[in-house]
Amino acid sequence: MAVLPLNNYLYIKIDMWLFGKKEPFVNDTQARSDIITTFITISIVFFGMALAFILLWSYNKSDKLFFMVFSGMVALYATAMSIFVAIIRSNITSIQFKVFMMSSIFMGLMSVILLIIFVVKSTYLFKNIDTRPERSSPPPPPPPPPQQQMYSREDIDADNDLYEERRF
């Protein structure tokens, strides 16, 4: 039977009409799998955006807070990895188990140590602050009146040499 070069869609429709073939549709199992995969992907994207926002916020607040948040995240990740390795230990070799477990425990301990160090450093900054309301500091003295100052030719730095030296 000679087939005229028709458009593929038209050929499929004629074939279905003549021979009774049905188009394959997505079954329920495949549809559920696709929906779950889509929602998991969207959730991972929003989780990543939340982590990025937390890191950006902590970096803008202070560098010590950033290191505390980052080391806390690394500690949580290392803990999750060590739990995961402990769960799948029967499916991996002894060498793989030792490498994964030692590296995750090492990273967990190092990040907890960094977290403790930066928590101590940040609390040390607030140690000498007096927050009692009954004790207030005296008002600052008024600024001195501006004085007219005469500059000589040596004081004026026309080519910004002194500024460049002070900047670096």
The whole-number pLDDT of residue 1 equals: 47
Q: CA-to-CA distance for 112 and 119, rounded, in angstroms?
A: 10
Count of residues for the chain?
Answer: 168
Share of the chain above pLDDT 90, in %: 36
| 136/117 Cα distance (integer angstroms) | 32
CA distance 121 to 132: 22
Predicted pLDDT at 22: 59
Q: For residue 125, what pLDDT is reported?
A: 65
pLDDT at 9 exceeding the cut of 70:
no
Each domain of the chain, given as residue ranges in start order, spans: 29-60, 62-124
- Which H or E element spans position 56? helix 28-61
In this structure, of 10-14, 32-36, 59-63, 101-105, the range with the lowest mean pLDDT score is 10-14
Question: Minimal CA–CA distance to 85: which of 97, 74, 99?
Answer: 97
Tokens, residue 37: 């995969």
- Per-residue pLDDT reduced to its tens digit, 110-159: 999 998 988 888 777 666 555 566 656 677 788 777 766 665 555 565 56
* Residue where the block lists tokens 């560098």: 63
**Please, what is the average pLDDT of the chain?**
78
